[in-house]
């Protein structure tokens, strides 16, 4: 057990972390391009926040939360998703008093106690965006276009944007009655969770994965056919904005999402490169959530992309080569005096922004070269007794295989020139 990560978690090793950094860098660039600023909220929150926002009829709240009592006997939960904490922060710091809309993004670990499988972990990472204080359909289209832009920038293909509207409380009341009418006596055949949903939020029955319930809802009235005028008009505008941006989407009236807070627009982006867990991005509008959590009436909208699933698509499609920037120079040494000299030199180089290293484990010169080659240094040079006496140094460009002779004291200038003037001065 000591040497095994907990079930459903994964290490990201140095050989993969640069791909994550590359993707995270793209995320930050694109978020900025669209006017979003980063928000960081705690990994854990009071359990009630998730019960209230995500909803007590959802799988997340009923089965999947990592909840524990802290030493002060408070119920604490590791965040199963990013939205709730951001909403809490928006209210706590009165961000509603600032000019709206507030546009934020986050990259955060999330925790759900699910059965692990490809694309489903117990700790996973989300990139999400949230916008507060804007009810216009242009925002719905903007966030979808932001997600699409990110996927495009990573040359990801084979995605489908599935779009739906699940209305507002005004249209949902009468719609829930229609569901109940449709199910009639069959309510006794619903699974345990759906009997609960029948009472509290019948729309969620459409999201049930149980075969029995799936059979019962074939032919059920669809919310899309039961929207009030305002929601219908809003949805028409979302489609018009998406059309004007040239974003392909398909209407999928069965998408209701696995969280309770949504109103009006909901969407999911599905990839043909993932197996059973094919949804890489999910989001939608939540115009009642801020108020539900104790803030002023404020419209909101957002999405989250599962980064593990995004990385899986990149790996499967191999459309871009993410190459790690190699480190600059490794100074191989022979003898104690040379080690002292190399230690001074790497300090000087590092001060100037040049990545440099030397042997720290007492390897033979041959083994040092082998190590430097494996680590992918751009340049390698050797300092031994001879170099210390003459002050002459041979430096090898590992990629091109060519060697230059230089003076030790000109090493810094030589590297700055070769590396394209990357001095920090």
CA angle 66, 70, 71 (to 5 degrees): 160
Shortest distance (Å) from residue 111 CB to ligand HAM? 9
Shortest distance (Å) from residue 294 CB to ligand HAM? 18
Residue 282 makes contact with ligand HAM by CB under 6 A:
yes
Coil, strand or helix at 350: helix
Residue 298 makes contact with ligand HAM by CB under 6 A:
no
| x/- letters, 106..145, toward ligand HAM (CB under 6 A) | ------x-x----xxx--x-x-x-x---------------
Q: How far apart are CA 144 and CA 268, in angstroms?
A: 9
Helix segments in 293-422, DSSP class H: 307-317, 336-351, 365-375, 385-390, 411-418
Comparing CB distances to ligand HAM, the nearer of 106 and 330 is 106
Q: How far apart are CA 64 and CA 62, in angstroms?
A: 6
Residue 280 makes contact with ligand HAM by CB under 6 A:
yes
Comparing CB distances to ligand HAM, the nearer of 207 and 357 is 207
Q: Determine which residue in the list 279, 298, 333, 368 makes contact with ligand HAM, applying CB under 6 A.
A: 279
Residue 81 makes contact with ligand HAM by CB under 6 A:
yes
| Binding segment toward ligand HAM, per CB under 6 A, in 11-19, 184-192, 218-226, 297-305 | 297-305
Residue 164 makes contact with ligand HAM by CB under 6 A:
no
| Binding segment toward ligand HAM, per CB under 6 A, in 232-240, 282-290, 376-384, 411-419 | 282-290
Q: How far apart are CA 9 and CA 254, in angstroms?
A: 31
Shortest distance (Å) from residue 262 CB to ligand HAM? 7
Q: 154: closest CA among 342, 20, 255, 245?
A: 20
Coil, strand or helix at 37: strand
Residues 6+ apart with CB under 8 A from 190: 183, 197, 198, 205, 212, 213, 216
Comparing CB distances to ligand HAM, the nearer of 263 and 382 is 263
For the chain, the residue count is 425
| Residues touching ligand HAM, count (CB under 6 A) | 26
| x/- letters, 171..210, toward ligand HAM (CB under 6 A) | ----------------------------------------
Comparing CB distances to ligand HAM, the nearer of 83 and 164 is 83
Residue 150 makes contact with ligand HAM by CB under 6 A:
no
DSSP per-residue string spanning 98-153 = SSSPEEEEEEEEEE-----BTTB-SEEEEEEEEEES---HHHHHHHHHHHHHHHHH
Q: Determine which residue in the list 23, 147, 227, 304 makes contact with ligand HAM, applying CB under 6 A.
A: 304
Shortest distance (Å) from residue 423 CB to ligand HAM? 42
Q: How far apart are CA 352 and CA 23, in angstroms?
A: 27
Shortest distance (Å) from residue 302 CB to ligand HAM? 3
Q: 107: closest CA among 152, 167, 166, 150?
A: 150
Residues 333 and 339 sit within 8 Å (Cβ to Cβ) = yes
Structure token digits, residue 226: 């039961």
Q: Determine which residue in the list 302, 332, 379, 415 makes contact with ligand HAM, applying CB under 6 A.
A: 302
Q: 247: closest CA among 130, 164, 141, 136?
A: 141
Question: Would you tell me which residues interact with ligand HAM (CB under 6 A)?
Answer: 81-83, 112, 114, 119-121, 124, 126, 128, 130, 258-259, 279-284, 302-304, 306, 308-309
């Amino acid at each position: 057990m000591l040497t095994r990560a907990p079930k459903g978690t994964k290490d990201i090793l140095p050989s993969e972390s640069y791909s994550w950094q590359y993707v995270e860098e793209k995320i930050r660039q694109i978020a900025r391009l669209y006017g979003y600023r980063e928000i960081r909220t705690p990994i854990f929150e009071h359990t009630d926040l998730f019960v209230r926002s995500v909803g007590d009829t959802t799988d997340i709240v009923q089965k999947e939360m990592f909840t524990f009592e802290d030493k002060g006997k408070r119920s604490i939960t590791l965040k199963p998703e990013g939205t709730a904490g951001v909403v809490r922060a928006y209210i706590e710091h009165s961000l509603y008093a600032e000019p709206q809309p507030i546009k934020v993004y986050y990259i955060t670990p999330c925790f759900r106690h699910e059965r692990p499988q490809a694309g489903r972990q117990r700790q996973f990472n989300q990139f999400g965006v949230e916008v507060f204080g804007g009810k216009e359909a242009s925002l719905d289209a903007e966030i979808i276009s932001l997600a699409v832009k990110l996927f495009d920038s990573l040359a990801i293909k084979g995605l489908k944007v599935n779009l739906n509207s699940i209305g507002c409380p005004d249209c949902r009341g009468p719609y829930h009655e229609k569901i109940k009418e449709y199910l009639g006596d069959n309510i006794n055949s619903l699974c345990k969770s759906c009997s609960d949903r029948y009472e509290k939020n019948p729309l969620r029955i459409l999201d049930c994965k149980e075969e029995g319930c799936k059979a019962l809802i074939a032919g059920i009235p669809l919310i899309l056919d039961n929207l009030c005028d305002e929601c219908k008009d809003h949805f028409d505008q979302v489609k018009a904005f998406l059309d004007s941006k040239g974003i392909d989407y398909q209407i999928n009236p069965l998408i209701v999402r696995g969280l309770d807070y949504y109103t009006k627009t909901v969407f999911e982006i599905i990839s043909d490169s993932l197996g059973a867990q094919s949804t890489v991005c999910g989001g939608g509008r939540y115009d009642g959530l801020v108020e539900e959590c104790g803030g002023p009436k404020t419209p909101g909208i957002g999405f989250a992309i599962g980064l593990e699933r995004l990385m899986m698509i990149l790996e499967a499609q191999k459309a871009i080569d993410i190459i790690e920037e190699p480190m600059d120079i490794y100074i191989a040494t022979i003898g104690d005096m040379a080690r002292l000299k190399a230690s001074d030199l790497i300090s000087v180089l590092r001060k100037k922004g040049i990545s440099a290293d030397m042997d720290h484990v007492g390897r033979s010169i041959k083994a040092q070269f082998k190590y430097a080659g494996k680590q992918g240094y751009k340049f390698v040079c050797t300092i031994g007794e001879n170099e210390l006496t003459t002050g002459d140094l041979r430096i090898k460009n590992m990629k091109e295989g060519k060697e230059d002779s230089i003076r030790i004291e000109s090493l810094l200038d030589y590297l700055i020139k070769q590396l394209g003037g990357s001095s920090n001065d």
